[in-house]
C-alpha cells in the first residue's frame, strides 16, 4: 500500500502546483492580502505591468517616486513613440534637466514628455510623487486614448484648497470617472506622496475606464452649418428636370454647390457641399437661404444625397464653373454646377449667389 500512499501524495503535489499556476497572481505577492487595492494589484501583475521587488513582495504602503510613477503610467497606459519621427535619437536630457540619459526610467520620461503628460522640465525623478501629480499625469495619459464624455459634477472635498490649480481639473475628471477616490474623511490628500497601492488602484481603474468607455466620435462643425436642407425638382420639358438643393446658412458668406450625382437604377442621388466664407471678408450676420441647381434627365427620380466636406469660397471651380454674386439686397445664394448625365449631353445651371458686404 506504500506505493498508493506515495502516489496520493504525488497527485496532491501536482494539484497544488496546478492551482498555483492557474491562480497565478493570487499568490504573486505575500504582502497585499487585505489591501484595499489587492484586486487591482493582482490584475496589473497578471498583465505584466507590476512585478514587485522580485522576492514575492509588492510593498503596497511604500511611497512611489516620480520615476516610478512616470514609468508605471507609461507602461500601464501603453504609451509609445510610434507616431513620432525624430531627426535625431531623443535623449531624456533633451526634455529634463535632472533625468540622466542612462537611467532605467529615461525612456519612460521621453515618452511621457513627447506625449504631453505635462511633467515639469526640472522635476526630480527621485522625489516622491504626490497624489495630485500622479492624478494629473494619469488623466493626460487617458486623454491620449480618446475624447471621452466626462460627467460635469463638481466634487467638493475637505482639502480641495490645497490642490494646485493646474491639477484640479484632472482630479475632478478622475473623481467623476471613479478612477480616483476620496478617503473616509472626504480628503484627497493632494500633497501627500502616493503609495504603490493607491497608484496601482488608480491605474487599474484608468485602464478599465478606457477599455469599457467608447470615445466620442469627432464631429465636424462644418457639417452643422446648413439647416433645413431640401431638394426640389421641376420639369422644364418632357425630357429634363431642374433640381435645386436649398438650405439656410448663418450669413451670406456661405454658399452651397452640387458635389456630384450618383445614378442608381432610376434614382439620381444628388450630393452637395458647403462653401466656406472668405476669411478676409465681413458679412452681415443674417440668416440666408443658399441654393445650388443642376439638371438631370426626366427618366430619373432626384433624391437628396449626403453632404461632402466643405471647400473654401472661390470664384471659379476646377471645371470652369463660376460663383457669381447676386445684386445687392438679395436674400439667397445660388451657385452654378456642371454635371455629366449618362443619358444626356452636359448641361449647366444658370443662377447667382447672394450679396453680402465684402463679397
With H, G, I as helix, E, B as strand and everything else as coil, classify residue 315. coil
Q: Using one digit for the tens of pLDDT, what is the confidence trace for 336-349?
A: 333 333 333 333 33
DSSP alpha helix (H) spans, 1-65: 2-23, 38-46
In the chain, where the domains are located? 61-212, 221-348
Report the pLDDT value the prediction gives residue 85, as an integer from 0 to 100: 83
Report the pLDDT value the prediction gives residue 210, as an integer from 0 to 100: 96
pLDDT tops 50 at residue 35:
yes
Stretch 21-42: mean pLDDT: 78
CA-CA distance, 54 to 244, in Å (whole number)?
A: 73
Using an 8 Å Cβ cutoff, are 348 and 324 in contact? no
DSSP 345: -
Report the pLDDT value the prediction gives residue 312, as an integer from 0 to 100: 54
Q: Using one digit for the tens of pLDDT, what is the confidence trace for 110-136?
A: 999 999 999 999 999 999 999 999 999
Report the pLDDT value the prediction gives residue 195, as an integer from 0 to 100: 97
Report the pLDDT value the prediction gives residue 11, as an integer from 0 to 100: 52
Report the pLDDT value the prediction gives residue 154, as an integer from 0 to 100: 93
Least confident of 107-111, 162-166, 173-177, 221-225: 221-225
pLDDT tops 60 at residue 103:
yes
Return the closest-CA partner of residue 135 out of 95, 106, 163.
163
At 113, phi and psi to the nearest 5?
-70, -45
Amino acid at each position: 500500500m506504500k506505493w498508493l500512499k506515495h502516489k496520493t501524495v504525488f497527485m496532491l503535489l501536482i494539484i497544488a502546483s496546478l492551482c498555483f499556476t492557474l491562480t497565478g497572481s493570487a499568490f504573486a505577492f505575500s504582502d497585499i492580502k487585505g489591501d484595499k487595492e489587492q484586486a487591482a494589484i493582482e490584475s496589473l501583475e497578471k498583465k505584466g505591468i507590476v512585478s514587485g521587488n522580485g522576492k514575492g513582495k509588492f510593498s503596497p504602503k511604500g511611497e512611489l517616486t516620480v520615476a516610478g510613477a512616470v514609468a508605471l503610467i507609461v507602461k500601464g497606459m501603453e504609451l509609445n513613440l510610434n507616431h513620432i519621427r525624430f531627426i535625431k535619437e531623443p535623449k531624456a536630457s533633451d526634455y529634463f534637466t535632472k533625468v540622466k540619459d542612462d537611467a532605467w526610467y529615461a525612456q519612460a520620461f521621453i515618452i511621457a514628455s513627447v506625449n504631453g503628460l505635462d511633467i515639469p522640465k526640472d522635476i526630480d525623478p527621485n522625489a516622491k510623487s504626490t497624489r495630485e501629480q500622479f492624478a494629473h499625469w494619469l488623466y493626460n495619459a487617458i486623454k491620449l486614448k480618446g475624447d471621452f464624455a466626462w460627467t460635469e459634477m463638481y466634487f467638493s472635498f475637505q482639502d480641495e484648497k490645497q490642490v494646485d490649480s493646474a491639477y484640479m481639473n484632472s482630479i475632478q475628471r478622475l473623481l467623476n470617472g471613479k478612477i480616483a477616490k476620496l478617503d473616509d474623511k472626504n480628503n484627497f490628500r493632494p500633497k501627500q506622496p502616493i503609495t504603490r497601492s493607491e497608484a496601482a488602484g488608480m491605474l487599474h481603474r484608468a485602464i478599465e475606464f478606457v477599455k469599457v468607455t467608447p470615445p466620442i466620435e469627432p464631429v465636424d462643425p462644418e457639417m452643422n452649418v446648413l439647416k433645413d436642407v431640401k431638394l426640389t425638382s421641376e420639369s422644364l420639358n418632357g425630357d429634363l428636370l431642374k433640381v435645386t438643393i436649398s438650405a439656410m446658412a448663418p450669413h451670406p458668406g456661405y454658399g452651397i454647390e452640387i458635389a456630384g450625382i450618383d445614378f442608381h437604377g432610376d434614382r439620381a442621388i444628388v450630393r452637395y457641399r458647403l462653401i466656406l466664407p472668405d476669411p478676409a471678408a465681413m458679412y452681415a450676420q443674417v440668416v440666408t437661404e443658399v441654393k445650388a441647381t443642376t439638371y438631370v434627365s426626366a427618366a430619373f427620380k432626384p433624391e437628396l444625397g449626403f453632404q461632402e466636406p466643405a471647400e473654401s469660397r472661390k470664384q471659379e471651380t476646377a471645371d470652369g464653373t463660376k460663383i457669381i454674386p447676386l445684386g445687392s439686397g438679395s436674400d439667397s445664394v445660388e451657385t452654378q454646377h456642371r454635371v455629366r448625365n449618362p443619358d444626356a449631353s452636359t448641361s449647366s445651371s444658370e443662377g447667382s449667389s447672394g450679396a453680402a458686404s465684402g463679397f
